[in-house]
Amino acid sequence: MTYPEKKEREHRFVLALRMGLPIFFLSTVSLFALLTQHYTTFSSLIVLSIAILGVMIYFIFYLIYQSSRENITDPITHTFTSEFFFRLATKAFAKKTHTMVMISVENLWSINERYGFKNGDDALQNTVYKIDQFFREKGVEKLPIGRHKGGDFLILLAGEKEKYTALLELFLSKYQNFVHNEIEIRLEAVMIDSRLSQEIELLTSRLYELHNDRINSDREELYSISDLETEILNALSEKRFSIGFLPVCCDENQIYDTTVKLIDSQGRFIHQSRYIPALNRLNKMRLFESEILEHLGSLCDESTRNFIVTISSVTLRNPHFFEHALTLFERYPKARYKITMLFEEKEYCHQLERFAQQIAHYRKAGYKIALDKLGGHHTALLYLKELEIDVVRFDTNYSRNIRKEGYRNILQGLNLSAHLCGANTWISMIEDEESDHIAQSLKINYREGNYLGKILNEEQLKGKE
């Protein structure tokens, strides 16, 4: 029996006591009062008994109703609910440092789709059993396990995360890909500890960032989460950012792809993998991307220099950003037709007609639109045929494997499809002469990488004029 199941049994026992003891006490007091009153009549006894019975029935149903609202375990996996787990973790963080681990069933969706929800639930239950059994064998008794959502389980361990690094690696080596009832179950795990923050919601958000970006959780964090958010907001308000310009080879004008890092109060860079999730969480992404767009507009001059800037798809559809972008050329007329907005999207936008109209307005105003991750996200191919796209960039997986015949053949097909749809093609991460030669032989329009040109800062860019 797992620790959450034992805790649930204790919880039910306490509820039973809460229900039974007051009723027993009320009955005893009432009986004592009746027996000690000599003037009590039979009719008054009946009235009092009915009143007591009514109170008892009401109290019983009230406690039953309350108990139905006070479930502390998930009915499917018999782990703690996220609410109870968060309360448990908050109390633990107040006492000393604890490590929080998130173990995810990566292929839960495909299991439910192929084998049915019943087998999906069985896979989750077996995963919980494996987790509890493994840590119990390693001497961790009463392991708090909570189900956050879907196939994501949270585990609370006493101590700092360095203490459990080897243990987590051992767990993954044993169970990362295991089979239960002929069903393959794939697990991934990340961890963090309360030194970074004692706010459970922030720690959970950071776990998902680590999970989604596959960041090594052993890497040292320079700031706690709250301090990092403060640094990011200060950098944004004071416009402390560094833009790198990477040359893109083509037969047209000078084109530079851009990458942005924020600068903290100590002059250190804050990488995109840190500030983007924080800006999204703080609802500041539109403001940040508007500032970058404004700055690039100010860099446009009489030269043939063009810039590519990455804009999130959500920002691209935002009406406030849309208005800001359309008025940019009033402030910087020379920027017209010199800025390309690059976006990517994993999930298909179902309001595609509205999105297509916005894209058309951007292009009419003087922007070019570029689509990223062609061959990586299925939505890229759908958008290519539905939207007016000027440039498509291939997924970096094709750049890394461009020498392999299979990848090269698919790349050739995607390149032809993009050209037939009226878009130029772009491949990044060209790191050697052979890769560059293959890209040219495939007639890819834009080529980018360290082999073709080193990244420039703003001063170096202006020095090339």
User: Per residue in 163-204, pLDDT tens?
Assistant: 999 999 999 999 999 999 999 999 999 999 999 888 999 899
**Greatest CA separation found in the chain?**
111
List Cβ neighbours of 148 (8 Å cut-off, separation of 6 or more). 82, 85, 102, 154, 204
337/73 Cα distance (integer angstroms) = 58
Query: C-alpha dihedral over 449, 454, 455, 457, to 10 degrees?
Result: -160
Cα–Cα distance, 407 to 397 (Å, whole number): 9
pTM above 0.95, yes or no: no
Other C-beta atoms lying within 10 Å of the C-beta of residue 266: 7
Q: Which residues contact 414 (CB under 8 A, 6 or more apart)?
A: 374, 375, 394, 398, 425
Kindly list the distances between the CA atom of residue 26 and the CA atoms of 12, 57, 59, 166, in Å, as whole numbers in the listed order: 22, 12, 11, 57
Q: Is 102 helix (H, G, I), strand (E, B) or coil?
A: strand
Do residues 89 and 100 touch, judged by C-beta distance below 8 A? yes
Predicted confidence at residue 141, as pLDDT, reads 86
**Banded pLDDT at 216 (limits 50, 70, 90):** very low
The predicted structure's pLDDT at residue 40: 52
Q: What is the mean pLDDT of the chain?
A: 87
Q: 6-58 pLDDT, tens per residue?
A: 776 676 666 666 666 666 666 666 666 656 655 556 566 666 667 666 666 76
Q: Is the pLDDT of residue 128 over 90?
A: yes
Q: Is the pLDDT of residue 97 over 90?
A: yes
More confident residue, 217 or 113: 113
Mean pLDDT of 373-391: 94
Kindly state the DSSP code that residue 430 receives in the 8-state scheme: -
Q: Is the pLDDT of residue 250 over 90?
A: no
